[in-house]
Amino acid sequence: MIAFSKKTKLSPRAAVFLDRDGTIVHDRPGYYLVDEKSLKLYKHAPQALKIFQKMNYALIILTNQSGIARNYMSLEKSKKINLSLRAKLKNLGIDIAGIYFCPHAPKDKCSCRKPRVGLAKEALFNHNIILAKSFMIGDKFSDIKLGQNLKIKTIFLKTGHGRTQTLKYGKTIKANFVAKDILSAAKWIKKEKNRG
Ligand SMILES: [Mg+2]
Ligand SMILES: [Zn+2]
């Protein structure tokens, strides 16, 4: 589902697909963000997002929000949290192209819950994205799997669920790069891009 999608006729460009919780905003195992008042950006997230923006990547957030299916929050509340994040970033000079979320539970077997490609496909269509040059960044195995399903480069973060996911899945997480946080991911992408 779409929380927000900027309608512009832009020339094609690559995207940085970003997970939300544990990647841009604070998250930890066993915790669900169910109120916009609890929304807290990681310290280096704005700087990292500005680096991507400067490199002309479309910034697209793809987030699993099973808290909706689990009745921890309403669909409306979830949208409100996403719009609040968008506004917060906008105030810092960061322009998010779209926020796409899956409201389902794992048992629903929907086509949009990461690592399935539904959300990304929707975004590709809406934002004229060059997939092959895009990246996926996240703190869960499912984010990396999504990137692999899309056949793009992946960056696994140690923030959020990163450490517990490493313990759980170990060496099966085969990201192109493992970063301590989103800023170190941004620096790596900058180097990759310069390499061509
Ligand atoms: Mg996450
Ligand atoms: Zn879904």
What average pLDDT score do residues 164-174 get? 91
Q: Tell me whether residue 58 is exposed, middle or buried, using C-beta atoms within 10 angstroms of its C-beta: 0 to 12, 13 to 18, 19 or more.
A: buried
Q: Would you tell me how many other CB atoms lie within 10 Å of the CB of residue 196?
A: 4
Please check the confidence at residue 9 and state whether its pLDDT lies above 70. Answer: no
Please check the confidence at residue 195 and state whether its pLDDT lies above 90. Answer: no
What is the tally of structural domains in the chain?
Answer: 1
- Residue 12: both structure tokens together: 């094609």
Q: How far is the CA of 129 from the centre of ligand 1 (A)?
A: 22
Q: How far is the CA of 112 from the centre of ligand 2 (A)?
A: 4
Say what the pLDDT of residue 88 is.
Answer: 97
Range of the domain at 42: 2-195
pLDDT-derived band at 4, boundaries 50, 70, 90 = confident
107: domain CATH number? Answer: 3.40.50.1000
Among the listed residues 20, 2, 88, 94, the one whose alpha carbon sits nearest the alpha carbon of residue 57: 94
Annotated catalytic, 19? yes
What is the number of the ligand closest to the CA of 109? 2
Annotated catalytic, 27? no
Q: How far is the CA of 151 from the centre of ligand 1 (A)?
A: 20
What is the number of the ligand closest to the CA of 62? 1
